[in-house]
Amino acid sequence: MEVSLDANLASSSRSRFAGNRNPVGSLMEPLLSLQIAEPRRIYQPGDELACECQIDAVDAKEIQAVETSVLWYTEGKGDEDLGVHYFNRRVPGDCENRDLRPMHRFTTILPNSPLSYSGKIVKVRWCARVRLFLKKGKELYFEQPFSLGNIADSRDDRS
């Protein structure tokens, strides 16, 4: 198990628009922050993954919902496949003061498969993702990748 010395390295709080990149009526983009407890560690099946997410620079009333998920997706030549292992959707009514912005912590036990893999035409990536739904149909998301399993990269072997 590899543990980084700077295990509490904060992820850069950049956010990505899933739709329109020009928010109307706001001078600053909302800031999404998502941290994995040990981002550089190679996780194993059965390990606990702990994450924290926080939202800033947006009015609480503008937020419709926040979704946090731990998922895997494929990259490479084939069309993208996606599999969700952990999913949670929160709306303002789930919080005492209807404010979804404060830090929210979630944990999950990682599954036995599929493991992270970097092949020639197929790659499997794991990440934790937070998705913010704002009013007027705008969405933002931010993801933090991590590794599951010790799989070696495939060698260059053409047959």
Partner 1 sequence: MARTFRLWLKKRGGRRTGSRLAGSVGEAVFFGILFLLGAVSLTAVITSQVRNPTPEIYRLGFGFWLMVLVMASFALIGGIGIVWTALFAGTSAERRSALVKHAAGMDLISDAMPTSLEYPNVPRDAYLTNSPGVKLKYRLPTEQAPVWRLGLSALIFLLSTGMTSVLSVIVTQHHMAGSPDWFLTLFMAPLIVVNLWAVRYFFGELRGQTRFGPTCIEISDHPLRPGSDCEIFVSQAGRLSLTSLVIWLVCEEEATYSQGTDIRTEIRVASRSQVLREEATQIEDGAPLECSGTLRVPSHAMHSLQSGHNAIRWKLVIEGKSERSGTMKRSFPVIVYPTVKQRTDA
Residues that bind partner 1 (CB under 8 A): 18-20, 44-46, 67, 69, 71, 74, 76-85, 87, 89, 111-115, 117, 119-122, 124, 129, 131, 137, 139, 141, 149-152, 154-155, 157-159
In three state form, how does the secondary structure of the chain look? Answer: CCCCCCCCCCCCCCCEECCCCCCCCCCCCCEEEEEECCCCCEECCCCEEEEEEEEECCCHHHEEEEEEEEEEEEEECCCCCEEEEEEEEECHHHCCCCCCCCCEEEEEECCCCCCCEECCCEEEEEEEEEEEEEHHHCEEEEEEEEEECCCCCCCCCCC
- Our CB check for partner 1 shows the closer of 6 and 158 to be 158
Closest CB 23 distance from partner 1, rounded Å: 14
- Least spacing, CB of residue 73 vs partner 1, in Å: 9
C-beta of 99 vs 153, nearer to partner 1: 153
Residue 6: CB minimum distance to partner 1, A:
25
Q: CB of 123: closest distance to partner 1 in angstroms?
A: 9
Residue 16 or 105: the one with the smaller Cβ distance to partner 1 is 16
Query: What whole-number distance in Å separates Cα of residue 118 and Cα of residue 43?
Result: 16
Nearer Cβ to partner 1 (61/136): 136
Spatial distance between the Cα atoms of 145 and 127, rounded to a whole number of angstroms:
4
Least gap, CB of 56 to partner 1 (angstroms)? 21
Q: Which is nearer to partner 1, 10 or 48 (CB)?
A: 48
